[in-house]
Amino acid sequence: MAVSRCARAFPSFDCRCDPDFSRPEIPSAGFHRFSDKNKSTTLRAAHGLSSVILKFPPNFVRQLSIKARRNCSNIGVAQVVAASWSNDQAASGCTPAVKAVDAAAAAVVPVEAAEDVICNDENVNKLGGSPFLEYASFLSSDGSVAIHAGERLGRGIVTDAITTPVVNTSAYFFKKTADLIDFKEKRRASFEYGRYGNYTTIVAEEKISALEGAESTLLMASGMCASTVMLMALVPAGGHLVTTTDCYRKTRIFIETVLPKMGITSTVIDPADIRGLESALEKNKVTLFFTESPTNPFLRCVDIELVSKLCHDKGALVCIDGTFATPINQKVLALGADIVLHSATKYIGGHNDVLAGSISGPHKLISTIRDLHHVLGGALNPNAAYLIIRGMKTLHLRVQQQNTTAHRMAEILEAHPKVKRVYYPSLASHPEHELAKKQMKGFGGVVSFEVDGDLLTTARFIDALRIPYIAPSFGGCESIVDQPAIMSYWDLSQSDRAKYGILDNLVRFSFGVEDFKDLKADVLQALETI
């Protein structure tokens, strides 16, 4: 690949290398989407790591033309465009920032001397997703990575702001037709259109990639969007997939009613039925094994390592929906799965205020899903991406609190005379307790249980609770409770609900980050009313 050649649009620009984050021994962890076959030079577009922080000189605004200033957003010129980052460094040690400065300057000031950024790669127009396969040596915990990945560790938006700006744009412009042709012929990087990517969204994607140890992450408008697009992209017409009995109902509906229209068939097995999986792999040309772990709502766990080995031996891919676990509690890709999916609406967002879904995995697979996503739509709004970024900075703290609260409440509920059964992986009574201990660090904030009573008795217990909201969803700061027989399965008869194990007395309780004593008192007092 030809080295990017950009003239210094503003010679008075200063590059400030932060001494704490510019040490040569810190590895570059970004996925170099713009590397050539010889890998001699890499242009990291909008999402690579960089130790350089750009500092605009005091007279910068005065150097802008009136037209350029009029085109700047109210957040400032720093967020107008993302920089194209490069690995090569000159004697000053700050030359990676030169390209970033030129990219930002060229977007707001016409500079005749500036040359175009040239790069050769077949994926040059796809700027989303970046892996952090090797974290910087000074970040050893998921909590630190969730805070700094994609931001302190380098982001494509040229800004000195601590928080990532929201780039509200529906399209990206080209200065001249020649630039557009360079983009079309894959010599120039751009998103072109808002449905194909956004610089704020990239930061959120990088954070998830960093936590999952993934090469690439794609964010979409919802968890269901992520599930459906993934299934359609990876399972060919006439293909076969394997899933499990206990799973999110809307996912099951899609698999049972929509995919058959494409000739796609499925085998449904119990999450622990390894023999059933082996049989399905022998009898069918299975393309994909897709399930949740833990599952919804009974928190069943799949032996991800074993399932991945069996599927890979037969050429099948493995996708695990890790929403209930979060990347804090479980590393799906490290256990052998090919793809991990999340409803980022839940724990990752964490504040019950945003809808999003994510898919993480190898660049090749995610690119296949990304191509279909660009056709179908369902793009994440940059404001939603900002909420995901903000939410992830407290992800490890929230999950730790929720793990502790849920475990303690599960023990209390299991010992209570008015509770018939509790479903939570930390309990010895859970069918996959030993497996969960092996592949999970924590067990999440959701506890499902059956009260000793019928539909109305269970509803009376729920109505007596004062802290949790009666609502769908889970994983947020606020506790949420629901009765699945009413919330998710009310359109089915009692007997049809029972086929899925959904009894009238089943309760799903998502514990938030309220004080444990308050939650305990509220639950025990509500149980006394039945």
Catalytic: 364? no
Other Cβ atoms within 10 Å of 249 Cβ, number: 15
- Active site (annotated) includes residue 195: yes
Residue 473 structure tokens: 């969803």
Q: Which of 33, 152, 346, 398 is catalytic?
A: 346
Q: Would residue 346 show up in a list of annotated catalytic residues for this protein?
A: yes
Which one of 195, 249, 420, 421 is the catalytic residue?
195
| 119 close to 33: Cβ distance less than 8 angstroms | no
Amino acid at 38: N
Output the CA–CA distances (angstroms, integers) from residue 54 to 45, 160, 269, 458, in the order listed. 16, 7, 54, 59
> What distance in Å separates the CA atoms of residue 246 and residue 270, rounded to the nearest whole number?
7
Identify the bridge partners of residue 423 per DSSP, sorted by sequence position: 448
Q: Active site residue: 182, 321, 482, 504, which one? A: 321
Q: Where are the alpha helices (DSSP H) in 73-222?
A: 96-108, 142-148, 177-184, 199-212
What token pair was written down for 133?
A: 């396969």
* Residue 8 annotated as catalytic: no
Written as one string, the DSSP assignment of 3-55 is PP----S-TT-EEEE-TTS--TTSPP-S--TT--TT-S--EEESS----EEEE
**Catalytic choice (135, 248, 489, 500):** 248
Backbone dihedral angles phi then psi of residue 131, each to the nearest 5 degrees: -85, 160
C-alpha radius of gyration, the chain, whole number = 25
Closest among 80, 97, 79 to 88, alpha carbons compared: 97
Tokens of 279: 């049989």
Q: Which pairs count as long-range contacts for 183-187, CB under 8 Å and 24+ apart, including other chains?
A: 183/124, 183/125, 186/120, 186/121, 186/122, 186/124, 186/125, 187/118, 187/119, 187/120, 187/124
| Residue 285, CB-side half-sphere exposure with 13 Å CA sphere | 6
- Kindly report the number of other CB atoms within 10 A of residue 392's CB atom: 27
Please identify every residue annotated as catalytic.
Answer: 195, 248, 321, 346
